[in-house]
Amino acid sequence: MIAAPPQPPEHQRHELLAGYGVLVLVAGVALGVVALVLRGEQDPPFDAVLLATGALAVAFGLQMLHRAVPIAPPLAQRGAAPPADAPQSLHRIENAVSFGCSRAVDAHMLVRPVLREIALQRLSAHGVDLDSDARAQVMLGPWAWGLLRPDLPEPPDWHAPGLDAAALERIVESLEAL
């Protein structure tokens, strides 16, 4: 019985495949450039074959690169994934926080209403109204009150950076402490 040849380690296979992918991709682009430079000097069928061969080489090279170096998932999908049976509301909150950390308008329009709803429920358990009771400011603390106060205007620059992760963590901690 003939033994199969030894296989290189997985990372070497990916590097080799990526190298071949780049080589084929460059060859395909070179064929396309040659076809464009020699245009008119050769037969039209030759130009068509040269361009088609170059296009196939580019497509094959891109496919090899994709197999060797898969595209990373978007940042919002990285990290621990929620359970498959996570409720829709959890997905809604995760998306709101993701957007709210990037732009000020999203923090104001998406994250703030969710946190205000939580604050309203937590404060009402203590007999405190978020919008009309002065004790709410003291109970929430400066971080949470700064975002959840009823008279907070919309951000002047909608494209300004959103909530800082540390600030959001402090706000959530103050809501949990209620």
Q: Is residue 74 part of a domain?
A: no
Q: Is residue 18 part of a domain?
A: yes
Q: Is residue 78 part of a domain?
A: no
153 shares a domain with 107 = yes
- Encode pLDDT of 94-108 as tens digits: 767 776 777 788 888
| Number of domain units in the chain | 2
100 shares a domain with 60 = no
- Encode pLDDT of 97-154 as tens digits: 776 777 788 888 888 888 888 888 888 888 989 888 888 888 988 888 888 888 888 8
93 shares a domain with 163 = yes
Give 28's contacts (C-beta < 8 A, 6+ positions apart).
53, 54, 55, 56, 57, 58, 59, 60, 61
94 shares a domain with 64 = no
Q: Is residue 4 part of a domain?
A: no
Domain membership of residue 159 as a residue range? 89-177
